[in-house]
Amino acid sequence: MEEAATIRAVAIDKTGTLTTGQLRLARVQILAHASEQWTTDQVLALAAGVHEFSEHPLAQATLRAARAQQIRPLSATDFHSVPGRGVRATVAGSEVQIGNSRYIENADAGALQAVDQLEQSGHTAVLLKHGSDILAVLAYADTLRPTAAAAVRQLRQLGVERVIMLTGDNEHVARSIAQQTGVDEYHAGLLPTDKMRTLQQLKRQYVKVAMVGDGVNDAPALAASSLGIAMGGAGTDVALETADVVLMADDLLNLPYVIALGRSARRTLLVNLGFALAMIAAMVASIFSLDLKLPYAVVGHEGGSVLVVLNGLRLLGFRPKPATGSAPSSNK
Protein backbone atom coordinates (compact mmCIF):
# COMPACT_ATOMS: atom_id res chain seq x y z
CA MET A 1 0.00 0.00 0.00
CA GLU A 2 2.92 2.34 0.65
CA GLU A 3 4.25 1.65 -2.86
CA ALA A 4 0.80 2.34 -4.32
CA ALA A 5 0.81 5.74 -2.62
CA THR A 6 4.01 6.85 -4.36
CA ILE A 7 3.38 5.58 -7.93
CA ARG A 8 4.18 8.19 -10.60
CA ALA A 9 3.67 6.12 -13.77
CA VAL A 10 1.52 3.10 -14.64
CA ALA A 11 2.29 0.60 -17.41
CA ILE A 12 -0.66 -1.53 -18.53
CA ASP A 13 -0.70 -4.67 -20.64
CA LYS A 14 -3.29 -4.70 -23.43
CA THR A 15 -4.71 -8.20 -23.80
CA GLY A 16 -6.74 -9.24 -20.77
CA THR A 17 -6.16 -5.94 -18.99
CA LEU A 18 -7.30 -3.03 -21.15
CA THR A 19 -9.26 -5.56 -23.21
CA THR A 20 -11.45 -8.38 -21.93
CA GLY A 21 -9.00 -11.05 -23.10
CA GLN A 22 -11.97 -13.04 -24.43
CA LEU A 23 -10.67 -13.15 -27.98
CA ARG A 24 -12.62 -14.77 -30.78
CA LEU A 25 -11.31 -16.43 -33.91
CA ALA A 26 -12.69 -14.05 -36.51
CA ARG A 27 -11.27 -15.67 -39.65
CA VAL A 28 -9.30 -18.62 -40.97
CA GLN A 29 -7.74 -17.50 -44.25
CA ILE A 30 -6.24 -20.40 -46.18
CA LEU A 31 -3.47 -19.26 -48.51
CA ALA A 32 -4.02 -19.72 -52.24
CA HIS A 33 -1.49 -22.52 -52.77
CA ALA A 34 -3.06 -24.63 -49.99
CA SER A 35 -6.74 -24.01 -50.70
CA GLU A 36 -7.15 -27.15 -52.84
CA GLN A 37 -5.62 -29.56 -50.31
CA TRP A 38 -6.98 -28.05 -47.08
CA THR A 39 -10.40 -26.94 -45.87
CA THR A 40 -11.17 -24.44 -43.14
CA ASP A 41 -12.37 -27.22 -40.83
CA GLN A 42 -9.16 -29.21 -41.34
CA VAL A 43 -6.98 -26.19 -40.58
CA LEU A 44 -9.05 -25.39 -37.49
CA ALA A 45 -8.75 -28.99 -36.24
CA LEU A 46 -4.98 -28.78 -36.76
CA ALA A 47 -4.71 -25.45 -34.94
CA ALA A 48 -6.92 -26.63 -32.08
CA GLY A 49 -4.78 -29.72 -31.61
CA VAL A 50 -1.66 -27.59 -31.11
CA HIS A 51 -3.41 -24.91 -29.03
CA GLU A 52 -4.98 -27.48 -26.71
CA PHE A 53 -1.82 -27.39 -24.57
CA SER A 54 -1.59 -23.59 -24.28
CA GLU A 55 -3.12 -21.11 -21.79
CA HIS A 56 -2.63 -18.15 -24.14
CA PRO A 57 -5.81 -16.16 -24.95
CA LEU A 58 -5.31 -16.82 -28.68
CA ALA A 59 -5.18 -20.55 -28.02
CA GLN A 60 -8.33 -20.44 -25.92
CA ALA A 61 -10.10 -18.55 -28.71
CA THR A 62 -9.10 -21.27 -31.18
CA LEU A 63 -10.47 -23.98 -28.92
CA ARG A 64 -13.74 -22.10 -28.39
CA ALA A 65 -14.17 -21.75 -32.15
CA ALA A 66 -13.51 -25.47 -32.66
CA ARG A 67 -16.05 -26.42 -29.98
CA ALA A 68 -18.64 -24.05 -31.44
CA GLN A 69 -18.30 -25.76 -34.83
CA GLN A 70 -18.11 -29.22 -33.24
CA ILE A 71 -14.64 -29.80 -34.67
CA ARG A 72 -12.48 -32.27 -32.78
CA PRO A 73 -8.85 -31.17 -32.26
CA LEU A 74 -6.23 -33.44 -33.81
CA SER A 75 -3.95 -35.29 -31.42
CA ALA A 76 -0.65 -33.47 -30.86
CA THR A 77 2.57 -34.27 -28.99
CA ASP A 78 5.91 -32.58 -28.16
CA PHE A 79 4.29 -29.22 -27.47
CA HIS A 80 6.64 -26.26 -27.01
CA SER A 81 5.89 -22.59 -26.41
CA VAL A 82 8.07 -19.53 -27.07
CA PRO A 83 6.58 -16.60 -25.09
CA GLY A 84 5.72 -13.62 -27.26
CA ARG A 85 6.32 -15.53 -30.49
CA GLY A 86 4.32 -18.74 -30.90
CA VAL A 87 3.89 -22.46 -30.27
CA ARG A 88 4.74 -25.70 -32.00
CA ALA A 89 3.82 -29.36 -31.68
CA THR A 90 3.93 -32.59 -33.65
CA VAL A 91 0.72 -33.74 -35.35
CA ALA A 92 0.63 -37.04 -37.27
CA GLY A 93 4.42 -37.03 -37.55
CA SER A 94 4.65 -33.47 -38.93
CA GLU A 95 5.73 -30.37 -37.03
CA VAL A 96 3.06 -27.68 -36.83
CA GLN A 97 3.95 -24.11 -35.86
CA ILE A 98 1.55 -21.29 -35.01
CA GLY A 99 2.93 -17.83 -34.35
CA ASN A 100 3.78 -14.38 -35.57
CA SER A 101 6.04 -13.57 -38.50
CA ARG A 102 9.07 -13.36 -36.18
CA TYR A 103 8.50 -16.96 -35.14
CA ILE A 104 7.53 -18.56 -38.47
CA GLU A 105 10.63 -18.70 -40.64
CA ASN A 106 10.71 -18.35 -44.42
CA ALA A 107 7.26 -16.78 -44.71
CA ASP A 108 6.66 -15.78 -48.33
CA ALA A 109 5.37 -12.44 -49.58
CA GLY A 110 1.81 -13.73 -49.98
CA ALA A 111 1.61 -14.89 -46.37
CA LEU A 112 3.09 -11.66 -45.02
CA GLN A 113 0.72 -9.60 -47.17
CA ALA A 114 -2.28 -11.52 -45.80
CA VAL A 115 -1.05 -10.89 -42.24
CA ASP A 116 -0.59 -7.18 -42.94
CA GLN A 117 -4.07 -6.81 -44.42
CA LEU A 118 -5.71 -8.49 -41.44
CA GLU A 119 -3.67 -6.43 -38.97
CA GLN A 120 -4.66 -3.20 -40.71
CA SER A 121 -8.30 -4.19 -40.23
CA GLY A 122 -7.68 -4.34 -36.46
CA HIS A 123 -7.08 -8.07 -36.03
CA THR A 124 -4.30 -10.00 -34.36
CA ALA A 125 -2.97 -12.31 -37.07
CA VAL A 126 -0.75 -15.41 -36.75
CA LEU A 127 0.59 -17.87 -39.30
CA LEU A 128 0.03 -21.63 -39.29
CA LYS A 129 2.87 -23.71 -40.72
CA HIS A 130 2.58 -27.45 -41.44
CA GLY A 131 5.97 -29.01 -42.04
CA SER A 132 7.69 -26.57 -44.39
CA ASP A 133 4.45 -25.20 -45.85
CA ILE A 134 2.57 -22.17 -44.51
CA LEU A 135 -1.09 -23.09 -44.86
CA ALA A 136 -3.16 -20.27 -43.40
CA VAL A 137 -3.46 -17.07 -41.42
CA LEU A 138 -5.60 -17.07 -38.26
CA ALA A 139 -7.17 -13.70 -37.39
CA TYR A 140 -8.41 -12.88 -33.88
CA ALA A 141 -10.48 -10.00 -32.51
CA ASP A 142 -10.67 -8.67 -28.95
CA THR A 143 -13.05 -6.33 -27.11
CA LEU A 144 -12.08 -3.27 -25.11
CA ARG A 145 -13.16 -3.29 -21.47
CA PRO A 146 -16.03 -0.81 -20.98
CA THR A 147 -14.24 0.78 -18.01
CA ALA A 148 -10.78 1.07 -19.60
CA ALA A 149 -10.99 4.74 -20.62
CA ALA A 150 -12.55 5.71 -17.27
CA ALA A 151 -9.77 3.92 -15.39
CA VAL A 152 -7.11 5.84 -17.34
CA ARG A 153 -8.92 9.12 -16.61
CA GLN A 154 -9.09 8.36 -12.90
CA LEU A 155 -5.37 7.58 -12.81
CA ARG A 156 -4.66 11.04 -14.23
CA GLN A 157 -6.99 12.67 -11.73
CA LEU A 158 -5.00 10.99 -8.97
CA GLY A 159 -1.86 12.68 -10.27
CA VAL A 160 -0.26 9.76 -12.10
CA GLU A 161 2.11 11.47 -14.53
CA ARG A 162 2.17 8.87 -17.30
CA VAL A 163 0.00 5.93 -18.38
CA ILE A 164 1.72 3.60 -20.84
CA MET A 165 0.32 0.61 -22.74
CA LEU A 166 2.64 -2.34 -23.40
CA THR A 167 1.66 -5.09 -25.84
CA GLY A 168 3.10 -7.85 -27.94
CA ASP A 169 0.38 -7.18 -30.49
CA ASN A 170 0.88 -5.41 -33.81
CA GLU A 171 1.14 -1.66 -34.37
CA HIS A 172 -2.33 -1.25 -35.91
CA VAL A 173 -4.20 -2.92 -33.04
CA ALA A 174 -2.05 -1.13 -30.44
CA ARG A 175 -2.72 2.30 -31.97
CA SER A 176 -6.47 1.67 -32.09
CA ILE A 177 -6.67 0.57 -28.44
CA ALA A 178 -4.43 3.46 -27.34
CA GLN A 179 -6.68 6.01 -29.04
CA GLN A 180 -9.82 4.51 -27.49
CA THR A 181 -8.42 4.40 -23.96
CA GLY A 182 -6.47 7.66 -24.02
CA VAL A 183 -3.16 6.33 -22.70
CA ASP A 184 -0.22 8.73 -22.99
CA GLU A 185 1.95 6.38 -25.04
CA TYR A 186 2.13 2.80 -26.25
CA HIS A 187 4.77 0.25 -27.21
CA ALA A 188 3.80 -2.51 -29.66
CA GLY A 189 5.38 -5.78 -30.78
CA LEU A 190 7.08 -6.41 -27.42
CA LEU A 191 8.47 -9.72 -26.24
CA PRO A 192 8.40 -10.48 -22.48
CA THR A 193 12.02 -9.35 -22.17
CA ASP A 194 11.18 -6.16 -24.09
CA LYS A 195 8.42 -5.37 -21.59
CA MET A 196 10.86 -5.87 -18.74
CA ARG A 197 13.44 -3.57 -20.35
CA THR A 198 10.76 -0.94 -20.99
CA LEU A 199 9.78 -1.12 -17.30
CA GLN A 200 13.38 -0.62 -16.28
CA GLN A 201 13.64 2.45 -18.54
CA LEU A 202 10.43 3.86 -17.07
CA LYS A 203 11.76 3.32 -13.54
CA ARG A 204 14.89 5.29 -14.39
CA GLN A 205 12.66 8.15 -15.52
CA TYR A 206 9.80 8.03 -13.00
CA VAL A 207 11.37 5.97 -10.15
CA LYS A 208 8.03 4.55 -8.93
CA VAL A 209 6.27 2.60 -11.71
CA ALA A 210 3.39 0.14 -11.43
CA MET A 211 2.83 -2.66 -13.95
CA VAL A 212 -0.62 -4.14 -14.57
CA GLY A 213 -0.90 -7.48 -16.40
CA ASP A 214 -2.48 -10.89 -16.45
CA GLY A 215 -0.44 -13.28 -18.59
CA VAL A 216 2.72 -15.37 -18.59
CA ASN A 217 4.31 -12.76 -20.88
CA ASP A 218 3.75 -10.08 -18.22
CA ALA A 219 5.50 -11.90 -15.36
CA PRO A 220 9.03 -10.47 -15.98
CA ALA A 221 7.64 -6.93 -16.18
CA LEU A 222 5.53 -7.45 -13.05
CA ALA A 223 8.64 -8.58 -11.19
CA ALA A 224 10.68 -5.62 -12.47
CA SER A 225 8.11 -2.98 -11.50
CA SER A 226 7.85 -1.06 -8.23
CA LEU A 227 4.34 -2.47 -7.79
CA GLY A 228 3.06 -5.49 -9.74
CA ILE A 229 -0.72 -5.65 -10.14
CA ALA A 230 -2.49 -8.67 -11.66
CA MET A 231 -6.03 -9.04 -12.95
CA GLY A 232 -7.38 -11.87 -10.80
CA GLY A 233 -10.27 -13.07 -12.94
CA ALA A 234 -8.31 -13.53 -16.16
CA GLY A 235 -4.80 -13.84 -14.72
CA THR A 236 -2.54 -16.83 -15.19
CA ASP A 237 -0.98 -18.58 -12.19
CA VAL A 238 2.46 -17.14 -12.99
CA ALA A 239 1.15 -13.57 -13.12
CA LEU A 240 -0.85 -13.98 -9.91
CA GLU A 241 2.17 -15.44 -8.10
CA THR A 242 4.51 -12.68 -9.31
CA ALA A 243 2.23 -9.72 -8.60
CA ASP A 244 2.21 -7.72 -5.35
CA VAL A 245 -1.51 -6.90 -5.67
CA VAL A 246 -4.31 -8.95 -7.25
CA LEU A 247 -7.54 -7.28 -8.39
CA MET A 248 -9.93 -10.09 -7.50
CA ALA A 249 -13.05 -8.48 -9.00
CA ASP A 250 -11.38 -8.32 -12.44
CA ASP A 251 -12.65 -4.75 -12.83
CA LEU A 252 -10.15 -2.25 -14.20
CA LEU A 253 -11.69 0.54 -12.09
CA ASN A 254 -10.13 -1.21 -9.10
CA LEU A 255 -6.74 -0.06 -10.43
CA PRO A 256 -7.23 3.66 -9.62
CA TYR A 257 -9.00 2.52 -6.44
CA VAL A 258 -5.79 0.79 -5.29
CA ILE A 259 -3.72 3.92 -5.99
CA ALA A 260 -6.27 6.19 -4.28
CA LEU A 261 -6.59 3.87 -1.27
CA GLY A 262 -2.81 3.69 -0.94
CA ARG A 263 -2.53 7.48 -0.93
CA SER A 264 -5.37 7.85 1.55
CA ALA A 265 -3.80 5.22 3.81
CA ARG A 266 -0.45 7.03 3.64
CA ARG A 267 -2.06 10.35 4.57
CA THR A 268 -3.89 8.68 7.45
CA LEU A 269 -0.65 7.07 8.61
CA LEU A 270 1.18 10.41 8.66
CA VAL A 271 -1.70 12.11 10.51
CA ASN A 272 -1.79 9.30 13.08
CA LEU A 273 1.97 9.42 13.63
CA GLY A 274 1.89 13.20 14.02
CA PHE A 275 -1.06 13.08 16.41
CA ALA A 276 0.45 10.27 18.51
CA LEU A 277 3.81 12.03 18.83
CA ALA A 278 2.07 15.31 19.69
CA MET A 279 0.03 13.57 22.41
CA ILE A 280 3.16 12.02 23.93
CA ALA A 281 4.97 15.36 23.85
CA ALA A 282 1.96 17.09 25.45
CA MET A 283 1.70 14.49 28.22
CA VAL A 284 5.42 14.67 29.02
CA ALA A 285 5.35 18.48 29.04
CA SER A 286 2.25 18.49 31.27
CA ILE A 287 3.90 16.21 33.83
CA PHE A 288 6.74 18.68 34.32
CA SER A 289 4.97 22.02 33.82
CA LEU A 290 1.47 21.35 35.19
CA ASP A 291 2.39 18.66 37.68
CA LEU A 292 0.04 16.27 35.86
CA LYS A 293 -0.34 13.03 37.76
CA LEU A 294 1.02 9.98 36.01
CA PRO A 295 -2.32 8.08 35.96
CA TYR A 296 -3.95 10.99 34.11
CA ALA A 297 -1.06 11.07 31.65
CA VAL A 298 -1.51 7.34 31.02
CA VAL A 299 -5.25 7.83 30.45
CA GLY A 300 -4.50 10.69 28.05
CA HIS A 301 -1.96 8.59 26.18
CA GLU A 302 -4.30 5.61 25.85
CA GLY A 303 -7.12 7.93 24.83
CA GLY A 304 -4.89 9.24 22.06
CA SER A 305 -4.25 5.67 20.94
CA VAL A 306 -8.00 5.07 20.70
CA LEU A 307 -8.37 8.19 18.55
CA VAL A 308 -5.57 6.96 16.28
CA VAL A 309 -7.35 3.61 15.84
CA LEU A 310 -10.68 5.30 15.12
CA ASN A 311 -9.06 7.58 12.56
CA GLY A 312 -7.52 4.54 10.86
CA LEU A 313 -10.89 2.77 10.77
CA ARG A 314 -12.20 5.59 8.58
CA LEU A 315 -10.41 3.85 5.69
CA LEU A 316 -13.02 1.07 5.84
CA GLY A 317 -15.49 3.50 4.31
CA PHE A 318 -13.07 4.88 1.72
CA ARG A 319 -14.64 5.59 -1.68
CA PRO A 320 -12.72 7.23 -4.54
CA LYS A 321 -14.19 10.18 -6.40
CA PRO A 322 -15.84 9.31 -9.77
CA ALA A 323 -13.96 10.11 -12.96
CA THR A 324 -14.99 13.07 -15.10
CA GLY A 325 -13.86 14.54 -18.38
CA SER A 326 -12.60 12.88 -21.52
CA ALA A 327 -9.38 11.13 -22.34
CA PRO A 328 -6.84 12.87 -24.57
CA SER A 329 -5.34 11.38 -27.70
CA SER A 330 -2.37 9.04 -27.47
CA ASN A 331 1.14 9.05 -28.88
CA LYS A 332 3.46 6.16 -29.53
Strand partners, 275: none
CA–CA dist 60, 65 (Å, integer): 9
Q: Can you tell me the distance from the alpha carbon of 330 to that of 31, in angstroms, rounded to the nearest whole number?
A: 35
CA distances from 315 to 243, 279, 310 (A): 23, 22, 10
CA angle 237-241-242, nearest 5°? 120
Amino acid symbol at 81: S
C-alpha to C-alpha distances, 150 to 191, 229, 302, nearest whole angstrom = 28, 18, 44
300 by Cβ neighbours in 10 Å (0-12 / 13-18 / 19+) ranks as middle
As a whole number of angstroms, the distance between CA 210 and CA 194 comes to 16
Q: Angle at the Cα of 215 (from 51 to 177), degrees rounded to 5?
A: 100
Query: What are the phi and psi torsion angles at 12 (to 5°)?
Result: -125, 130
SS3 58: helix
Q: Is 263 helix (H, G, I), strand (E, B) or coil?
A: helix
**Angle separating helix axes 171-181 and 148-157, nearest 10 degrees:** 60
Give the catalytic positions in this structure: 13
Integer Cα distance of 259 and 1 in angstroms = 8
Beta strands in 73-189 (DSSP E): 76-82, 86-91, 94-99, 124-130, 133-141, 162-166, 185-187
